[in-house]
């Protein structure tokens, strides 16, 4: 017999009290959309994983696990072809059968211009359905890590998508809204009951889920409430209004852990927080320097990098819940080395000398764009950086706003100096390069707001998708990182640490991806 959890909701405490297997979930920010290909963003993927499914998932430890595909391998007679065998007997929430036709459709949709997932699929030249339950992916040269790119690539029902006029991916960067942004029809363990963006989303267990006997499936209803204010979010957990929050504020960790009936679970996250800069423009708008771009001078970037006191941020802002970073790559990722991750010395005299040498001894003013509901203490980190950069004459005007307004600035290239956090679900450096360092274009560089372009580096990045000699591939990865580090293209801050807070009756361990999949949860 399933164990149960007594639960209520923030908005209807009495009415829902009898629903014994409800999980009340909160975090700082909401999913940006329900269109599974419109945003490559953690909270958006996390909600999508409850409703939609990819061919392969990562379990709560980060290991591969079969989802809508049962097995996969390169074809023996052609290393340029990966063969995926699909799970039979799977249906979408509306009862339609899941077949290879849906896989081909979903991947072609995800490769389209407005998709945020297209960088993951650049090596694929053709997707073909061999039969109803076999799909072949043809790549431009052998791609040894192709499956790594599929864990957040969700399958949609071709018929449902066509019938509702959403074959095109929502253009979220330009403010478009579509039927797929607020409605969903997946194969996943939970179905969508209601959706009020930034207010409340309700899901119920899918009784026809193919994995009912393979996973605990002890949560029958999910009530998801974004609570941006840290104090309010903690108060909801302390007062038993919610059962699980993903982001316990660092200043409240002790308070939550010491409360009877509550538990804090901590783990390093596969994510690095950093600042990006518009280094490619001849002039930028949000500074007080006429006719020049101070960020285009590597000496200015080096000085700013030296001025950031990461240990102070760790101790004062993060209460020791971060790991100072010297590179925008978390230690989970192939390509990371301890030597690359050394933080720069905080030599303020040397930093000021670099500013003088670059012609900015008197400093300059610039705007820093920062989210206030996405990363742990994001706005507080930016506030700390304002003071640190001011010591070398970089006077920063802080513009902090919700991620729904912040991220389009980066995607549209309308920011000169910005905060971003980057997780690496493929656990490989190529993912970072494709999105953040390749020249911004139709297939790659969609999150590269730096304006940086290096054709030699681009060629090396592209080569990674077809290099089967892993030693040679890793050597190329090291060369690319050496270039990025020498250019001081980004200013790393820290590798993020996760703190999940939950009622003792919630049984789960912290995922390094910060993506709870509730089909794995056990209710004590």
Beta pairing, strands 394-401 & 364-371:
parallel
Residues 229 and 331 in one domain: no
Residues 43 and 186 in one domain: yes
Residues 165 and 303 in one domain: no
Q: Which residues contact 125 (CB under 8 A, 6 or more apart)?
A: 138, 139, 140
For the cut 80, the answer to whether the pLDDT of residue 16 exceeds it is no
Domain count for the chain: 2
**Mean pLDDT value across residues 429-435:** 97
Q: What is the pLDDT of residue 242?
A: 98
Residues 463 and 429 in one domain: yes
Residues 196 and 326 in one domain: no
What is the CATH number for 199? 3.40.190.10
Q: Which residues contact 193 (CB under 8 A, 6 or more apart)?
A: 202, 203, 204
For the cut 50, the answer to whether the pLDDT of residue 149 exceeds it is yes
- CA angle, 300 as apex, 295 and 303 as ends, to 5°? 140
Which percentage of the chain shows pLDDT scores above 90?
A: 94
For the cut 80, the answer to whether the pLDDT of residue 252 exceeds it is yes
Residue 76 lies in a domain: yes
Residues 180 and 296 in one domain: no
For the cut 80, the answer to whether the pLDDT of residue 37 exceeds it is yes
For the whole prediction, is pTM greater than 0.75? Answer: yes
* Residue-range definition of the domain harbouring residue 447: 270-496
Extended strands (E) in 384-503: 394-401, 417-423, 490-503
Residues 294 and 235 in one domain: no
Residue 66 lies in a domain: yes
For the cut 50, the answer to whether the pLDDT of residue 1 exceeds it is no
Residues 282 and 228 in one domain: no
For the cut 80, the answer to whether the pLDDT of residue 328 exceeds it is yes
Q: Which residues contact 230 (CB under 8 A, 6 or more apart)?
A: 28, 249, 251, 252
For the cut 60, the answer to whether the pLDDT of residue 3 exceeds it is no
For the cut 80, the answer to whether the pLDDT of residue 442 exceeds it is no
**Mean pLDDT value across residues 216-234:** 97
Q: What is the pLDDT of residue 125?
A: 97
Residue 361 lies in a domain: yes
Residues 376 and 230 in one domain: no
Q: Give the mean pLDDT of the chain.
A: 94
3-state secondary structure of 470: helix
| Residue 151 to residue 251: CA distance in whole angstroms | 33
| Residue 434 to residue 282: CA distance in whole angstroms | 24
**Mean pLDDT value across residues 461-481:** 96
**Mean pLDDT value across residues 400-409:** 96
Residue 205 lies in a domain: yes
**Mean pLDDT value across residues 414-433:** 97
What is the CATH number for 394? 3.10.105.10
Token pair belonging to 82: 């990966």
For the cut 70, the answer to whether the pLDDT of residue 18 exceeds it is no
Work out the pLDDT band at 361, boundaries 50, 70, 90. Answer: very high
- CA angle, 168 as apex, 163 and 170 as ends, to 5°? 110
**What are the beta bridge partners of residue 221?**
22, 204
């Amino acid at each position: 017999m399933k164990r149960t959890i007594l639960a209520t909701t923030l908005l209807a405490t009495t009415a829902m009290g009898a629903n014994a297997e409800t999980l009340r979930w909160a975090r700082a920010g909401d999913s940006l959309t329900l269109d599974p290909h419109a945003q490559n963003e953690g909270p958006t993927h996390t909600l999508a994983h409850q409703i939609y499914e990819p061919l392969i998932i990562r379990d709560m430890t980060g290991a591969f696990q079969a989802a809508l595909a049962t097995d996969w391998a390169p074809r023996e007679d052609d290393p340029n072809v990966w063969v995926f065998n699909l799970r039979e007997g799977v249906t979408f929430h509306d009862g339609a059968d899941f077949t290879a036709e849906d896989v081909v459709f979903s991947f072609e949709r995800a490769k389209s211009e407005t998709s945020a997932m297209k960088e993951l699929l650049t090596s694929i030249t053709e997707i073909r359905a061999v039969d109803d339950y076999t799909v072949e992916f043809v790549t431009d040269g052998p791609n040894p890590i192709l499956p790594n790119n599929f864990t957040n690539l969700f399958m949609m029902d071709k018929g449902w998508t066509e019938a509702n006029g959403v074959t095109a991916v929502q253009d979220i960067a330009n403010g478009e809204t579509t039927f797929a942004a607020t409605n969903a029809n997946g194969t996943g363990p939970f179905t969508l009951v209601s959706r009020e963006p930034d207010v409340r989303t309700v899901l119920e267990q899918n009784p026809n889920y193919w994995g009912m006997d393979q996973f605990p499936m002890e949560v029958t209803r999910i009530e998801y409430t974004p609570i941006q204010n840290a104090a309010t979010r903690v108060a909801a957990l302390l007062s038993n209004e919610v059962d699980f929050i993903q982001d316990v504020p660092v200043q409240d960790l002790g308070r939550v852990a010491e409360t009877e009936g509550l538990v804090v679970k901590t783990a390093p996250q596969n994510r690095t927080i950093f600042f990006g800069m518009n280094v490619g423009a001849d002039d930028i708008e949000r500074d007080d320097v006429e006719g020049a771009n101070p960020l285009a001078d590597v000496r200015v970037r080096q000085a700013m990098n030296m001025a950031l006191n990461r240990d102070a941020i760790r101790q004062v802002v993060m209460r020791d819940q971060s790991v100072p970073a010297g590179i925008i790559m978390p230690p989970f990722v192939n390509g990371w080395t301890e030597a690359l991750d050394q933080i720069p010395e905080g030599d303020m005299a040397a930093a000021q000398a670099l500013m003088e040498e670059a012609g900015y001894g008197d400093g300059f003013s610039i705007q820093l764009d920062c989210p206030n509901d996405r990363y742990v203490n994001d706005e507080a980190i930016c506030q700390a950086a304002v003071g640190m950069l001011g010591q070398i004459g970089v006077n920063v005007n802080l513009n902090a706003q919700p991620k729904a307004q912040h991220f389009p600035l980066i995607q549209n290239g309308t920011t000169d100096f910005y905060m971003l956090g980057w997780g690496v679900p493929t656990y490989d450096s190529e993912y970072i390069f494709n999105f953040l360092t390749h020249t911004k274009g139709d297939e790659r560089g969609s999150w590269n707001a730096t304006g940086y372009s290096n054709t030699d580096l681009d060629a090396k990045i592209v080569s990674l998708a077809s290099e089967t000699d892993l030693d040679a591939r890793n050597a190329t990865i090291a060369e690319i990182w050496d270039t990025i580090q020498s250019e001081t293209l980004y200013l790393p801050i820290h590798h993020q640490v996760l703190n999940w807070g939950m009622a003792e009756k919630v049984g789960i361990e912290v995922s390094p991806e910060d993506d709870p999949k509730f089909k794995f949860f056990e209710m004590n």
